[in-house]
Structure 1
Amino acid sequence: MDMREFFHATKVVSGAGSVKNVGQETLALGGKKVLIITDGFLAASPIMEKVTASLKESSIEYIVYDQVRPNPRTTDCDTTAEMAKAEGVDVIIGLGGGSSMDQAKATAALVTNGGKCVDWDYVELKEYMLPVICIPTTSGTGSEVTFVAVITDEERKYKMSVFDPIKLRPSVAIADPELLTSLPPSLTASTGIDALTHAIEAYTCKVSQPITDALALYAIDVISKNIVQAVEDGSNLEVRYNMLMGSLIAGMAFINSNVGAVHAISETVGGWYDTPHGVGNSIFLPYIMEYNIPANPEKFATVARYLGVDPEGKTTEELALAGVEKVKELNAKVKIPKLIELDYIKEENFRAIAERSAENALSQDNARDIDADGYMSVILKAYRGN
């Protein structure tokens, strides 16, 4: 039996209004001056006011970087690291979706380890990163509890990863559902299916293990039960909390297991075309699931049950396929765009996308062996909607 490891050391503070604790959590980390990494929209929002009010109450200085882009660039991380060093900050807060939190983690690693972001692509860190507090405002990436920062290298048109299970762990994750009530339906949808992708791939990939299986199945269950209502009624705090927990728990699962071909292809189109990560995952999830079923029909049948599919009268294979249809149904209900609607991705690019996806290391842990031809078949099915 292969050896498996499970890492988790992030303190999770959750519940409505929990963002008010950010000042106390910063003090507990020894923080005196904070760099908040976020985007322009959040910087001007009431959410930022809640964060800064708590910091002021604890007499903590802060500065703000509000230029985070979707799919943050290596050069962005270099910029914020220099800013953090110049200002002498001792804690970094990532406020927003996965982009803000990943940039915060990469920045914190660069401050203590030096060099440029491109120097740390899957290179073990020499030093612990600065303490990081992650405050998610979407329920999708799970980045608040993962020890990886996925950053776009524009020169290579490639998504690289700063990764270290010991030295890149966020110190605190604050999961406050009140911060998600204004999240638009489209972002609620794509980030929610992103989290579902994390859970399904964590459970079905080649390196899954009992602990990650348990976490992933819970996440599949809670996300599938709440995502439609979260999209339709974003003000429901209970639903928002359930989605936050589903996303966070899926993050704990996949970072200790892995993801597979869905992420390999989504990272390819994201690095190449700047397609939002959640949109890419959502589009390709059901088609990769269908491709993967022959590798482990029993596990995909279990996925279907946790998605809410009635197993009565179905063979294992039929149940597994019904799970694929359930994901397609969820995508339709929450209005995930179809691949053909991303008109900047041309059919003549498909072969190159397939080849680059096959080269992605995540393909190695996919439930079923997959090469460029396998990816090509998946892309064509997704494009044609069959």
Structure 2
Amino acid sequence: MVGFSFSANKKILFGWGETLSLVPLLKDQKGRVFFITGKSVKKNPLWKSLELELRREGIKADFEEISGEPSPEDVDSLCEQYRSSPPAVVVALGGGSVLDAGKAVSAMLRETGSVMEYLEGVGTKKPSGAKIPFFALPTTAGTGSECTKNAVLSRPGIKGFKKSLRHDNYIPDLALIDPQWLESLPREVIASCGMDAFSQLLESYISTEASPLSDALAEEGLTEFLEAFGVVLEGNAGKDEFSSIALGATLSGLTLANAGLGTVHGIAGVLGGLIEIPHGTACGLLLPPVMNGTFQELLKLDEDHPTLQKAAGLGQFLSGRMDLKTEESIQILMEELDRWTTLAALPGLKTLGLTEELLVRTAMESGNKNNPYSFSEEERLSFLRSVY
């Protein structure tokens, strides 16, 4: 067996209604709390309960909102306000963008200068790894940022980028996952976020850097999604289904942080730097053609390829039949992914603002990361055209 390492949070709390468990943990920090939230969070009844409990316990807090994917300017602005009198703990409560913003702020409050100087592929400085204690509470089931070591910042446009501030120490000290937040999400949000989470699970599961530990977690997350996500997209979800996809999303953060991702994210990341496109939507559109392409190319090489056996296992799980041939099992998996895409009703890339010129540029600048099959620029362009 090949050796591997694995990084994770100091503490993960998971459960329906766990949100209020945050309060005694904040009281233990013995200082002011800095909350970073999304705008929609404060419309949720859970927020009202949390706010009331914070006041009851006398916990002093400052609150700031993040709208959309965080930019370097957003992070610099927040740090400028709080660097002279830093909080005892930073808490991010919201979707993946909010969690990324909080992660970056908790780190940059311990650094000097702009976050631009520390971004991979943009800056020249290496982050020290110092940070303010950071707690992450996701209110969507998507990016898994509550368990990752990078904060994704973007500046969309022709000269734009989508890059990470990354260090092993940036994994949130606490990840608190309460699936109850998902009950009030708009259908289009839960669809987009869920497609992102599933793509992270599947890409990390078949990654060339996967390990026995990441595989075990990915398998659990994938089966949770395969059982529940179709029900969620059909609008018939209850406590069990929301809990399943919340768990799957969290596991996707752990698996991607340790096994890496593939061509879906290799393309989606470039798209996010060129146009303002929901990351989950980009992943959801690209997931079926990229996965089908990966499996078909590997079938030409070796039907017993380990990646194909993993994919076949998922198809067998879906069908409940262990006697199916590899290709038949993979076809069942692909049919389910296609069904999800139809139910999610994701808009095409043209509708989202991608021009022909940017389509070609995306194919040229994107890559395959840890995908088990490396696609050429022309092949990546064909995937983009298929969802244009």
> Structure 2 length normalisation: TM-score?
0.90
Residue 169 of structure 1, CA deviation: 1.5
Look up the match of 2:366: 357
Structure 1: distance between partners of 2:237 and 2:84: 40
Look up the match of 1:33: 32
Aligned-partner residue type, residue 257 of structure 1: A
Structure 1: distance between partners of 2:137 and 2:215: 25
Residue 121 (1) aligns with residue 111 (2): no
Task: Give the alignment's Cα RMSD to 1 decimal.
Answer: 2.1
Residue 331 of structure 1, CA deviation: 1.6
Residue 374 (1) aligns with residue 383 (2): no
- 5+ long unaligned stretches in structure 2: 299-306
Look up the match of 1:222: 224
- Relative to structure 1, is the Cα distance of residues 85 and 45 closer, same or farther in structure 2, using a 3 angstrom cutoff? farther
- Relative to structure 1, is the Cα distance of residues 310 and 178 closer, same or farther in structure 2, using a 3 angstrom cutoff? closer
Moved more, 34-43 or 97-106: 34-43
- Relative to structure 1, is the Cα distance of residues 16 and 234 closer, same or farther in structure 2, using a 3 angstrom cutoff? farther
Moved more, 153-162 or 9-18: 153-162
- 5+ long unaligned stretches in structure 1: none
- Contact 1:19–1:50 (CA under 8 A) maintained in structure 2: no
Look up the match of 2:302: none
- SS, match of residue 224 in structure 2: helix
Look up the match of 1:159: 162
Superposed CA offset, 1:350-386 (max 9, x none): 211101113xxxx231221123122112112333xxx
Residue 233 of structure 1, CA deviation: 4.1
Aligned-partner residue type, residue 70 of structure 1: G
Structure 1: distance between partners of 2:264 and 2:3: 25
Look up the match of 1:300: 311
- Contact 1:80–1:107 (CA under 8 A) maintained in structure 2: yes
- Relative to structure 1, is the Cα distance of residues 227 and 287 closer, same or farther in structure 2, using a 3 angstrom cutoff? same
Which structure 2 residues correspond to residues 129-208 of structure 1 after superposition, within 5 A? 129-154=131-156, 156-165=159-168, 167-208=169-210
- Relative to structure 1, is the Cα distance of residues 297 and 181 closer, same or farther in structure 2, using a 3 angstrom cutoff? same
Structure 1: distance between partners of 2:20 and 2:156: 37
Moved more, 264-273 or 291-300: 291-300
- Relative to structure 1, is the Cα distance of residues 234 and 326 closer, same or farther in structure 2, using a 3 angstrom cutoff? closer
Look up the match of 1:334: 344
- Relative to structure 1, is the Cα distance of residues 236 and 310 closer, same or farther in structure 2, using a 3 angstrom cutoff? closer
Residue 235 of structure 1, CA deviation: 6.7
Look up the match of 1:71: 69
Residue 236 of structure 1, CA deviation: 1.9
Of all paired residues, the percent bearing the same amino acid is: 25
- Contact 1:21–1:54 (CA under 8 A) maintained in structure 2: no
- Relative to structure 1, is the Cα distance of residues 16 and 312 closer, same or farther in structure 2, using a 3 angstrom cutoff? closer
Aligned-partner residue type, residue 316 of structure 1: T
Structure 2: distance between partners of 1:75 and 1:187: 25
Residue 232 of structure 1, CA deviation: 4.0
- Contact 1:230–1:240 (CA under 8 A) maintained in structure 2: yes
Which structure 2 residues correspond to residues 235-384 of structure 1 after superposition, within 5 A? 236-293=238-295, 294-295=297-298, 296-306=307-317, 308-309=318-319, 314-342=324-352, 344-358=353-367, 363-383=368-388
Residue 348 of structure 1, CA deviation: 3.7
Aligned-partner residue type, residue 12 of structure 1: I
- SS, match of residue 300 in structure 1: helix
Residue 313 of structure 1, CA deviation: 6.4
> Structure 1 length normalisation: TM-score?
0.90
- Contact 1:70–1:276 (CA under 8 A) maintained in structure 2: no
Aligned-partner residue type, residue 31 of structure 2: K
- SS, match of residue 110 in structure 2: helix
Residue 115 of structure 1, CA deviation: 2.2
- Contact 2:39–2:67 (CA under 8 A) maintained in structure 1: no
Aligned-partner residue type, residue 352 of structure 1: R
- Contact 1:182–1:234 (CA under 8 A) maintained in structure 2: no
- SS, match of residue 365 in structure 1: coil
- SS, match of residue 181 in structure 2: helix
Runs of 4+ aligned residues of structure 1 deviating over 6 Å after TM superposition are none
- Contact 1:74–1:154 (CA under 8 A) maintained in structure 2: no
Moved more, 46-55 or 195-204: 46-55
Look up the match of 1:19: 19
Structure 2: distance between partners of 1:37 and 1:234: 31
Give the total of aligned pairs: 374
